[in-house]
Amino acid sequence: MADTEQIAYRDGTILFQDTGFQGYCPAGVVVQQPRKKPKGKELDVGEKFLNGVFSAVRIVVEHCISGIKRCRIVKDVLRNTKDGFSDRIMEVACALHNLRVTFRQPVQKWAILEQSQESYSR
């Protein structure tokens, strides 16, 4: 599927992959993939560190994807066959996720009753 889309990357782009895309290597891209432990051996300290870095990056991406999939229409089967409709749904779901992340900080509660009582007591 990745080969059929013909995605264009800038030269020197770093592409983090998991084992599901092992054969995918577009031109001009630096591919980074976690190392597997060889049979009967251990990974060295540098490889373990790099695997941890890859894992940290991947978990952020996975959390973003799960945040987008909170919109049920994205993860359910879509029967609408209009051109561009599924793309529009994904755009709206991504926008809602970005809005939710932007305003994630709790809203400050105003003590309206306390302020009004203070103003009357003066």
pLDDT for position 33: 86
Query: Which of 14, 55, 13 is closest to 34 using CA atoms?
Result: 55
pLDDT for position 111: 65
Query: Phi/psi of residue 97, each to 5°?
Result: -65, -45
* pTM, 2 dp: 0.64
pLDDT for position 107: 64
Query: Phi/psi of residue 12, each to 5°?
Result: 85, 5
* Residues contacting residue 37 through CB under 8 Å, at least 6 positions apart: 43
Q: Please, what are the averages of pLDDT over each run of 10 residues along the chain (122 residues)?
A: 74 83 82 87 92 89 91 87 89 93 75 58 54
pLDDT for position 25: 81
pLDDT for position 115: 58
Query: Which of 69, 74, 70, 68 is closest to 94 using CA atoms?
Result: 68
